[in-house]
A and B are shown apart, each in its own frame.
Chain A
Amino acid sequence: MNKADYDLVIIGGGPAGLTAGLYAARARMKVMMLEKVTPGGQVLVTDWIENYPGFPEGISGIDLVQRMTDQAKRFDLVIESAEVAALDLSQPIKKIILSDGNTVSTHTMIIATGASPNTLGVPGESRFSGKGVSFCGTCDGPFFRNKVVAAVGGGDTAVQESMFLTKFASKVYIIHRRNEFRAEKILQERVFANPKIEIIWDSVVTEIKGLSNVEKLGIRNVKTGETRELPVDGCFIWVGTQPNTGFVKNAVKTDESGFIIADLKMETSVPGVFTAGDVRSTPLRQIVTAVGDAAIAVTSAEHYLENL
Protein backbone atom coordinates (compact mmCIF):
# COMPACT_ATOMS: atom_id res chain seq x y z
CA MET A 1 0.00 0.00 0.00
CA ASN A 2 1.06 3.64 -0.52
CA LYS A 3 2.11 5.41 2.63
CA ALA A 4 0.31 8.37 4.08
CA ASP A 5 1.88 10.75 6.64
CA TYR A 6 -0.20 9.15 9.39
CA ASP A 7 -2.14 5.99 10.23
CA LEU A 8 -4.72 8.10 12.04
CA VAL A 9 -5.43 11.80 12.44
CA ILE A 10 -7.85 12.84 15.15
CA ILE A 11 -9.62 16.13 14.53
CA GLY A 12 -10.69 17.80 17.77
CA GLY A 13 -9.36 17.63 21.33
CA GLY A 14 -12.38 17.28 23.61
CA PRO A 15 -13.04 14.12 25.65
CA ALA A 16 -13.68 12.08 22.47
CA GLY A 17 -10.50 13.25 20.77
CA LEU A 18 -8.35 12.83 23.88
CA THR A 19 -9.68 9.32 24.47
CA ALA A 20 -9.10 8.41 20.83
CA GLY A 21 -5.58 9.78 21.22
CA LEU A 22 -4.98 7.69 24.33
CA TYR A 23 -6.16 4.47 22.69
CA ALA A 24 -4.33 5.13 19.41
CA ALA A 25 -1.07 6.02 21.15
CA ARG A 26 -1.27 2.85 23.23
CA ALA A 27 -1.97 0.87 20.03
CA ARG A 28 1.33 2.34 18.72
CA MET A 29 -0.39 3.85 15.71
CA LYS A 30 1.29 6.72 13.90
CA VAL A 31 -1.20 9.25 15.19
CA MET A 32 -1.61 13.00 15.55
CA MET A 33 -4.35 15.10 17.08
CA LEU A 34 -5.32 18.45 15.59
CA GLU A 35 -6.86 20.94 18.02
CA LYS A 36 -7.60 24.49 16.99
CA VAL A 37 -7.34 26.20 20.39
CA THR A 38 -6.41 24.07 23.36
CA PRO A 39 -7.63 20.60 24.41
CA GLY A 40 -10.90 20.38 26.29
CA GLY A 41 -13.81 21.41 24.15
CA GLN A 42 -17.11 22.10 25.86
CA VAL A 43 -15.93 20.47 29.10
CA LEU A 44 -13.74 23.52 29.66
CA VAL A 45 -16.80 25.67 30.15
CA THR A 46 -18.46 23.13 32.45
CA ASP A 47 -18.24 24.20 36.06
CA TRP A 48 -18.69 20.86 37.76
CA ILE A 49 -19.12 17.26 36.59
CA GLU A 50 -20.87 14.75 38.82
CA ASN A 51 -21.88 12.03 36.36
CA TYR A 52 -18.48 10.92 35.09
CA PRO A 53 -17.69 7.70 36.94
CA GLY A 54 -14.60 7.49 39.12
CA PHE A 55 -14.95 10.90 40.73
CA PRO A 56 -17.39 10.37 43.62
CA GLU A 57 -17.04 13.96 44.85
CA GLY A 58 -17.30 15.35 41.31
CA ILE A 59 -14.59 17.15 39.37
CA SER A 60 -14.31 20.51 37.62
CA GLY A 61 -14.33 20.52 33.83
CA ILE A 62 -10.83 21.95 33.56
CA ASP A 63 -9.39 19.39 35.98
CA LEU A 64 -10.96 16.49 34.11
CA VAL A 65 -9.60 17.82 30.80
CA GLN A 66 -6.16 18.26 32.32
CA ARG A 67 -6.17 14.66 33.52
CA MET A 68 -7.33 13.34 30.13
CA THR A 69 -4.65 15.40 28.37
CA ASP A 70 -1.89 14.25 30.76
CA GLN A 71 -2.99 10.65 30.32
CA ALA A 72 -2.87 10.82 26.51
CA LYS A 73 0.48 12.63 26.56
CA ARG A 74 1.93 10.04 28.91
CA PHE A 75 1.66 7.62 25.98
CA ASP A 76 3.28 10.18 23.65
CA LEU A 77 0.23 11.49 21.82
CA VAL A 78 1.27 14.38 19.55
CA ILE A 79 -1.14 17.33 19.78
CA GLU A 80 -0.78 19.98 17.08
CA SER A 81 -2.38 23.40 17.28
CA ALA A 82 -4.09 23.70 13.90
CA GLU A 83 -7.48 24.36 12.40
CA VAL A 84 -8.89 22.19 9.64
CA ALA A 85 -10.23 24.08 6.63
CA ALA A 86 -11.39 21.22 4.40
CA LEU A 87 -11.23 17.48 3.75
CA ASP A 88 -10.44 15.63 0.55
CA LEU A 89 -11.81 12.10 0.95
CA SER A 90 -11.87 11.20 -2.76
CA GLN A 91 -8.89 8.79 -2.49
CA PRO A 92 -8.12 5.95 -0.05
CA ILE A 93 -5.35 8.18 1.35
CA LYS A 94 -7.31 11.07 2.79
CA LYS A 95 -6.12 14.65 2.75
CA ILE A 96 -6.72 17.15 5.52
CA ILE A 97 -6.27 20.76 4.41
CA LEU A 98 -5.31 23.08 7.26
CA SER A 99 -6.23 26.75 7.48
CA ASP A 100 -2.52 27.68 7.29
CA GLY A 101 -2.44 26.07 3.83
CA ASN A 102 -0.56 22.90 4.81
CA THR A 103 -1.94 19.46 3.97
CA VAL A 104 -1.71 16.29 6.04
CA SER A 105 -2.32 12.85 4.55
CA THR A 106 -3.68 9.92 6.52
CA HIS A 107 -5.11 6.43 6.06
CA THR A 108 -7.84 6.95 8.64
CA MET A 109 -9.31 9.83 10.60
CA ILE A 110 -11.65 10.38 13.51
CA ILE A 111 -13.78 13.50 13.36
CA ALA A 112 -14.33 14.52 16.98
CA THR A 113 -14.94 18.25 16.61
CA GLY A 114 -17.86 18.37 19.00
CA ALA A 115 -20.65 20.90 19.07
CA SER A 116 -21.18 24.56 19.93
CA PRO A 117 -24.04 26.26 21.76
CA ASN A 118 -27.11 27.19 19.76
CA THR A 119 -28.16 30.80 19.72
CA LEU A 120 -31.76 31.96 20.20
CA GLY A 121 -31.73 34.08 17.06
CA VAL A 122 -33.65 36.93 18.67
CA PRO A 123 -33.02 40.70 18.37
CA GLY A 124 -30.33 41.95 20.77
CA GLU A 125 -28.66 38.58 21.25
CA SER A 126 -25.51 39.20 19.21
CA ARG A 127 -25.38 42.92 20.06
CA PHE A 128 -25.23 42.19 23.80
CA SER A 129 -22.93 39.16 23.54
CA GLY A 130 -20.30 39.70 26.24
CA LYS A 131 -22.40 42.59 27.56
CA GLY A 132 -24.81 40.51 29.57
CA VAL A 133 -25.58 37.78 27.03
CA SER A 134 -23.49 34.70 27.79
CA PHE A 135 -23.17 31.02 26.93
CA CYS A 136 -20.74 30.19 29.75
CA GLY A 137 -21.64 30.29 33.43
CA THR A 138 -18.16 29.51 34.68
CA CYS A 139 -16.66 32.30 32.55
CA ASP A 140 -19.14 35.02 33.31
CA GLY A 141 -21.30 34.04 36.31
CA PRO A 142 -19.19 35.84 38.93
CA PHE A 143 -19.64 39.17 37.11
CA PHE A 144 -23.28 39.01 38.16
CA ARG A 145 -22.74 39.13 41.93
CA ASN A 146 -25.96 40.28 43.60
CA LYS A 147 -27.60 40.84 40.22
CA VAL A 148 -30.66 39.35 38.57
CA VAL A 149 -30.10 37.00 35.65
CA ALA A 150 -32.15 34.80 33.35
CA ALA A 151 -31.19 31.36 32.06
CA VAL A 152 -32.90 30.05 28.94
CA GLY A 153 -33.35 26.31 28.37
CA GLY A 154 -34.50 23.14 30.10
CA GLY A 155 -31.82 20.50 29.55
CA ASP A 156 -28.98 19.35 31.80
CA THR A 157 -26.77 22.31 30.95
CA ALA A 158 -29.43 24.95 31.60
CA VAL A 159 -30.53 23.41 34.89
CA GLN A 160 -27.06 22.59 36.23
CA GLU A 161 -25.52 25.92 35.26
CA SER A 162 -28.47 27.83 36.73
CA MET A 163 -27.58 26.28 40.06
CA PHE A 164 -24.02 27.55 39.61
CA LEU A 165 -25.31 31.06 38.89
CA THR A 166 -27.14 31.14 42.24
CA LYS A 167 -23.72 31.22 43.95
CA PHE A 168 -23.41 34.79 42.68
CA ALA A 169 -26.72 36.20 41.45
CA SER A 170 -29.41 37.35 43.86
CA LYS A 171 -32.10 35.81 41.63
CA VAL A 172 -32.09 33.43 38.68
CA TYR A 173 -35.09 33.06 36.37
CA ILE A 174 -35.14 29.91 34.26
CA ILE A 175 -37.16 30.50 31.12
CA HIS A 176 -38.27 27.30 29.43
CA ARG A 177 -40.55 26.81 26.44
CA ARG A 178 -42.21 23.69 27.86
CA ASN A 179 -43.88 22.95 31.21
CA GLU A 180 -41.28 20.41 32.31
CA PHE A 181 -37.50 19.98 32.14
CA ARG A 182 -35.57 17.33 30.24
CA ALA A 183 -32.68 17.58 32.72
CA GLU A 184 -31.65 14.73 35.04
CA LYS A 185 -34.14 14.34 37.89
CA ILE A 186 -31.53 14.96 40.58
CA LEU A 187 -30.67 18.30 38.98
CA GLN A 188 -34.37 19.19 38.80
CA GLU A 189 -34.84 18.42 42.50
CA ARG A 190 -32.05 20.84 43.39
CA VAL A 191 -33.45 23.59 41.20
CA PHE A 192 -36.97 23.24 42.63
CA ALA A 193 -35.55 23.44 46.16
CA ASN A 194 -33.42 26.52 45.49
CA PRO A 195 -35.11 29.69 46.82
CA LYS A 196 -33.11 31.93 44.47
CA ILE A 197 -34.54 30.24 41.37
CA GLU A 198 -37.90 31.10 39.81
CA ILE A 199 -39.03 29.11 36.81
CA ILE A 200 -41.02 30.72 34.02
CA TRP A 201 -42.67 27.81 32.19
CA ASP A 202 -44.10 27.69 28.69
CA SER A 203 -42.25 30.83 27.69
CA VAL A 204 -39.76 32.01 25.11
CA VAL A 205 -37.49 35.05 24.90
CA THR A 206 -38.52 37.29 22.01
CA GLU A 207 -36.02 40.12 22.44
CA ILE A 208 -33.04 41.22 24.54
CA LYS A 209 -33.07 44.94 25.30
CA GLY A 210 -30.88 47.58 26.92
CA LEU A 211 -28.67 50.58 26.27
CA SER A 212 -25.03 49.48 26.55
CA ASN A 213 -25.73 46.36 28.63
CA VAL A 214 -28.65 43.95 28.99
CA GLU A 215 -31.51 45.56 30.95
CA LYS A 216 -34.59 43.52 30.14
CA LEU A 217 -36.01 40.63 28.16
CA GLY A 218 -39.16 40.46 26.12
CA ILE A 219 -40.87 37.16 26.89
CA ARG A 220 -43.95 35.49 25.48
CA ASN A 221 -46.03 32.72 26.98
CA VAL A 222 -46.45 30.18 24.20
CA LYS A 223 -49.76 28.85 25.61
CA THR A 224 -51.60 32.10 26.34
CA GLY A 225 -49.76 34.35 23.86
CA GLU A 226 -49.33 36.90 26.66
CA THR A 227 -46.18 39.06 26.37
CA ARG A 228 -44.30 40.96 29.05
CA GLU A 229 -40.96 42.48 29.94
CA LEU A 230 -38.62 40.99 32.53
CA PRO A 231 -35.92 43.24 34.03
CA VAL A 232 -32.58 41.35 34.22
CA ASP A 233 -28.86 42.23 34.21
CA GLY A 234 -27.80 39.16 32.28
CA CYS A 235 -29.14 36.40 30.06
CA PHE A 236 -27.48 32.98 29.84
CA ILE A 237 -28.46 30.86 26.84
CA TRP A 238 -28.35 27.07 27.02
CA VAL A 239 -30.68 25.81 24.28
CA GLY A 240 -28.86 22.84 22.82
CA THR A 241 -25.96 22.56 20.45
CA GLN A 242 -25.03 22.52 16.78
CA PRO A 243 -22.29 20.36 15.25
CA ASN A 244 -18.88 21.84 14.42
CA THR A 245 -18.80 20.52 10.88
CA GLY A 246 -18.12 23.59 8.73
CA PHE A 247 -15.00 21.97 7.23
CA VAL A 248 -16.78 18.67 6.52
CA LYS A 249 -19.25 20.15 4.03
CA ASN A 250 -20.78 17.18 2.16
CA ALA A 251 -17.77 14.88 2.51
CA VAL A 252 -19.66 12.47 4.80
CA LYS A 253 -23.37 11.85 5.40
CA THR A 254 -25.05 13.88 8.12
CA ASP A 255 -28.52 13.94 9.65
CA GLU A 256 -30.97 16.82 9.05
CA SER A 257 -29.32 18.87 11.83
CA GLY A 258 -25.83 18.36 10.40
CA PHE A 259 -24.59 15.78 12.94
CA ILE A 260 -22.42 13.06 11.35
CA ILE A 261 -24.06 9.67 10.84
CA ALA A 262 -22.01 6.62 11.83
CA ASP A 263 -22.63 2.88 12.15
CA LEU A 264 -21.99 0.73 15.22
CA LYS A 265 -18.25 0.78 14.43
CA MET A 266 -18.35 4.61 14.43
CA GLU A 267 -17.56 4.52 10.71
CA THR A 268 -19.11 7.27 8.58
CA SER A 269 -20.39 6.96 5.01
CA VAL A 270 -16.73 7.07 3.86
CA PRO A 271 -14.62 3.96 4.65
CA GLY A 272 -11.74 4.80 6.97
CA VAL A 273 -13.40 7.96 8.23
CA PHE A 274 -14.74 7.58 11.76
CA THR A 275 -16.47 9.92 14.19
CA ALA A 276 -16.97 10.18 17.95
CA GLY A 277 -18.58 12.36 20.57
CA ASP A 278 -21.00 15.26 20.32
CA VAL A 279 -20.49 15.79 16.58
CA ARG A 280 -22.06 12.37 15.93
CA SER A 281 -25.75 11.85 15.32
CA THR A 282 -26.61 10.23 18.66
CA PRO A 283 -29.46 10.18 21.19
CA LEU A 284 -27.24 11.28 24.12
CA ARG A 285 -24.35 13.76 24.31
CA GLN A 286 -22.35 13.24 27.49
CA ILE A 287 -18.67 12.85 28.38
CA VAL A 288 -19.20 9.14 29.04
CA THR A 289 -20.77 8.56 25.64
CA ALA A 290 -18.04 10.57 23.89
CA VAL A 291 -15.22 8.53 25.42
CA GLY A 292 -17.06 5.28 24.60
CA ASP A 293 -17.50 6.34 20.97
CA ALA A 294 -13.81 7.17 20.79
CA ALA A 295 -12.61 3.79 22.01
CA ILE A 296 -14.80 2.04 19.43
CA ALA A 297 -13.66 4.39 16.66
CA VAL A 298 -9.96 3.71 17.31
CA THR A 299 -10.48 -0.06 17.40
CA SER A 300 -12.41 0.15 14.12
CA ALA A 301 -9.65 2.29 12.58
CA GLU A 302 -7.10 -0.38 13.60
CA HIS A 303 -9.15 -3.09 11.86
CA TYR A 304 -9.43 -0.90 8.77
CA LEU A 305 -5.63 -0.43 8.70
CA GLU A 306 -5.02 -4.19 9.11
CA ASN A 307 -7.10 -4.86 6.01
CA LEU A 308 -5.42 -2.29 3.76
Chain B
Amino acid sequence: MAAGIVEIEDSSFDTEVMKSDLPVLVDFWAPWCGPCRAIAPLVEELSVSFKGQVKFVKCNVDDNPVTPGKFEIRSIPTLIFFKDGKVFDQIVGMVAKAKLEEIIKKMI
Protein backbone atom coordinates (compact mmCIF):
# COMPACT_ATOMS: atom_id res chain seq x y z
CA MET B 1 0.00 0.00 0.00
CA ALA B 2 1.19 3.53 -0.76
CA ALA B 3 2.50 5.36 2.28
CA GLY B 4 -0.11 8.09 1.89
CA ILE B 5 -3.13 5.80 2.39
CA VAL B 6 -4.30 5.18 5.96
CA GLU B 7 -6.20 2.00 6.82
CA ILE B 8 -9.03 2.99 9.15
CA GLU B 9 -11.28 1.03 11.50
CA ASP B 10 -14.79 1.43 12.85
CA SER B 11 -13.29 2.92 16.01
CA SER B 12 -11.18 5.51 14.16
CA PHE B 13 -13.72 6.44 11.45
CA ASP B 14 -15.07 9.45 13.32
CA THR B 15 -11.65 10.97 14.01
CA GLU B 16 -10.06 10.11 10.68
CA VAL B 17 -12.97 10.91 8.37
CA MET B 18 -15.82 12.89 9.94
CA LYS B 19 -13.50 15.26 11.82
CA SER B 20 -10.86 15.55 9.13
CA ASP B 21 -9.81 19.06 8.10
CA LEU B 22 -9.12 17.84 4.57
CA PRO B 23 -11.73 16.28 2.27
CA VAL B 24 -11.51 12.47 2.48
CA LEU B 25 -11.90 9.64 -0.01
CA VAL B 26 -12.81 6.35 1.72
CA ASP B 27 -12.20 3.19 -0.31
CA PHE B 28 -14.40 0.39 1.10
CA TRP B 29 -12.83 -2.91 0.12
CA ALA B 30 -12.23 -6.52 1.14
CA PRO B 31 -9.50 -9.03 0.32
CA TRP B 32 -11.95 -11.35 -1.50
CA CYS B 33 -13.12 -8.63 -3.89
CA GLY B 34 -11.31 -8.76 -7.25
CA PRO B 35 -12.56 -5.42 -8.57
CA CYS B 36 -11.46 -3.78 -5.28
CA ARG B 37 -7.92 -5.01 -5.82
CA ALA B 38 -8.13 -3.90 -9.46
CA ILE B 39 -8.99 -0.27 -8.64
CA ALA B 40 -6.55 -0.05 -5.71
CA PRO B 41 -3.65 1.12 -7.95
CA LEU B 42 -5.84 3.92 -9.37
CA VAL B 43 -6.63 5.15 -5.85
CA GLU B 44 -2.93 4.98 -4.97
CA GLU B 45 -2.02 7.06 -8.01
CA LEU B 46 -4.63 9.65 -7.02
CA SER B 47 -3.29 9.74 -3.46
CA VAL B 48 0.04 10.83 -4.93
CA SER B 49 -1.45 13.40 -7.35
CA PHE B 50 -3.63 15.01 -4.68
CA LYS B 51 -1.23 14.71 -1.76
CA GLY B 52 -1.92 17.42 0.82
CA GLN B 53 -5.27 18.31 -0.77
CA VAL B 54 -7.29 15.18 -0.10
CA LYS B 55 -6.89 12.49 2.55
CA PHE B 56 -7.11 8.92 1.20
CA VAL B 57 -8.19 6.12 3.53
CA LYS B 58 -9.21 2.47 3.13
CA CYS B 59 -11.78 0.58 5.18
CA ASN B 60 -11.79 -3.24 5.16
CA VAL B 61 -15.49 -4.16 5.35
CA ASP B 62 -14.73 -7.66 6.67
CA ASP B 63 -12.96 -6.39 9.78
CA ASN B 64 -15.16 -3.31 10.20
CA PRO B 65 -18.86 -4.08 9.69
CA VAL B 66 -20.29 -1.03 11.50
CA THR B 67 -19.18 1.73 9.12
CA PRO B 68 -20.34 0.03 5.88
CA GLY B 69 -23.66 -0.70 7.62
CA LYS B 70 -24.07 2.97 8.54
CA PHE B 71 -23.70 3.97 4.88
CA GLU B 72 -25.86 1.03 3.66
CA ILE B 73 -23.06 -0.43 1.58
CA ARG B 74 -24.18 -3.67 -0.10
CA SER B 75 -21.67 -3.71 -2.91
CA ILE B 76 -17.94 -3.11 -3.14
CA PRO B 77 -15.79 -1.45 -4.28
CA THR B 78 -17.62 1.60 -2.97
CA LEU B 79 -15.81 4.91 -2.83
CA ILE B 80 -17.33 7.64 -0.64
CA PHE B 81 -16.09 11.22 -0.80
CA PHE B 82 -16.48 13.16 2.45
CA LYS B 83 -16.22 16.92 2.85
CA ASP B 84 -16.68 18.66 6.22
CA GLY B 85 -18.03 15.44 7.73
CA LYS B 86 -20.71 15.02 5.07
CA VAL B 87 -21.03 12.69 2.08
CA PHE B 88 -20.08 14.70 -1.00
CA ASP B 89 -20.41 11.91 -3.56
CA GLN B 90 -20.46 8.11 -3.78
CA ILE B 91 -19.32 5.70 -6.50
CA VAL B 92 -20.20 2.01 -6.58
CA GLY B 93 -18.26 -0.46 -8.71
CA MET B 94 -15.34 -0.17 -11.10
CA VAL B 95 -14.71 3.34 -12.27
CA ALA B 96 -12.28 5.14 -14.57
CA LYS B 97 -9.56 7.28 -13.01
CA ALA B 98 -10.75 10.32 -14.98
CA LYS B 99 -14.16 10.14 -13.31
CA LEU B 100 -12.58 10.04 -9.84
CA GLU B 101 -10.35 13.00 -10.73
CA GLU B 102 -13.41 14.92 -11.85
CA ILE B 103 -15.17 14.40 -8.50
CA ILE B 104 -12.05 15.20 -6.49
CA LYS B 105 -11.52 18.46 -8.40
CA LYS B 106 -15.12 19.45 -7.68
CA MET B 107 -14.65 18.62 -4.00
CA ILE B 108 -11.38 20.52 -3.33
A113 to B101, CA, bound (A): 24
State how many angstroms separate the Cβ of A202 from the closest Cβ of chain B: 30
- Give the number of A-B contacts (CB < 8 Å): 72
Chain B residues, Cβ within 8 Å of A47: 32, 34
Residue A286 is within 8 A (CB to CB) of chain B in the complex: no
Least distance between B102 CB and chain A CB atoms (Å):
11
Contact A46–B74 (Cβ < 8 Å)? no
Within 8 A of A (CB), among B21-69: 30, 32-39, 41-42, 61-62
Is chain B's interface secondary structure helix, strand, loop, or mixed overall?
A: loop
Encoded as 1 (CB less than 8 Å from any A CB) or 0, chain B from 67 to 88 comes to: 0000011111100000000000
Residues of the A chain whose Cβ atoms lie less than 8 Å from the Cβ of B32: 47, 138, 142
Q: CB-nearest residue of chain A relative to B39?
A: A38
A281 within 8 A of B: no
- Interface size, chain A (Cβ < 8 Å): 30
A38 & B94 in contact (Cβ 8 Å cutoff): yes
A36 vs B75: C-alpha distance when bound (angstroms)? 21
Question: 26 A-B Cβ contacts within 8 A?
Answer: A36-B96, A37-B38, A38-B41, A40-B38, A44-B38, A45-B34, A45-B35, A46-B34, A47-B34, A60-B34, A61-B34, A62-B37, A65-B38, A81-B98, A130-B75, A131-B74, A134-B74, A136-B35, A136-B75, A138-B35, A139-B35, A139-B36, A139-B77, A139-B93, A140-B76, A142-B61
Interface residues of B (CB under 8 A from A): 30, 32-39, 41-42, 61-62, 72-77, 92-98
